[in-house]
Amino acid sequence: MAGDSDLSRIGISLPENLLVKFDSIIDKRGYSSRSEGIRDAIRSYITYYEWMNDVSGERQGVITMVYDHDQRGLMEAITEIQHGNRGIVQSTIHSHVTDERCLEVILVRGDAKALKELAERLMALKGVESVKLTTIKIQ
């Protein structure tokens, strides 16, 4: 496996607004370069996924999601997915953050694999800004 010292160069395309936000964060956090910020972001992404994959057994948790209120059909799709998973979705809190953004907190309980699948399905929807699954062990 290649260590962190073996650097590969990649080219990526990003929406302008995403890059502007990212640059403002790395500036506030004092990164010396954009590359350094991107390396750190990729490490966090990998850590989060590895953590998600380590989760197993019967769990209680919350899915926190932020999404675009104006994305056509998105609210209906989110509701449909939750209805389809009513065996594990216990309750939902919806907060209208701004005219354009919604925050939804979904209380879930069930097998870790099913909870992760639900989080990943929500994450894959167009117009969803972020999805985070946090769980605790039951007993």
Q: Among residues 82 and 135, whose Cβ is nearest to Ni ion? A: 82
Residues 108, 63 contacting (CB under 8 angstroms): yes
Which residue, judged by CB position, is nearest to Ni ion in the bound state? 102
Residue 39 vs 101, nearer CB to Ni ion: 101
Cβ 59 to Ni ion shortest distance, Å:
27
CA atoms within 13 A of residue 2's CA, in its CB half-sphere: 5
Min dist. Cβ of residue 31 to Ni ion (A):
33
User: Which positions touch Ni ion (CB under 5 A)?
Assistant: 96, 102
Smallest gap, in angstroms, from Cβ of residue 102 to Ni ion? 3
Q: Is the Cβ of residue 60 or residue 71 nearer to Ni ion in the bound state?
A: 71
Residue (of 102, 114, 105, 130) closest to 45 by Cα position: 130
| CA 123/CA 118 separation, integer angstroms | 9
Given the complex with Ni ion, which of 68 and 111 has the nearer CB atom? 68
* For Ni ion, the closer CB: 62 or 65: 65
- In the three-class reduction of DSSP (H, G, I as helix; E, B as strand; rest coil), residue 79 is classed as helix
- What are φ and ψ of residue 78, in 5° steps? -65, -45
Nearest to 81 by CA among 43, 48, 53, 108: 108
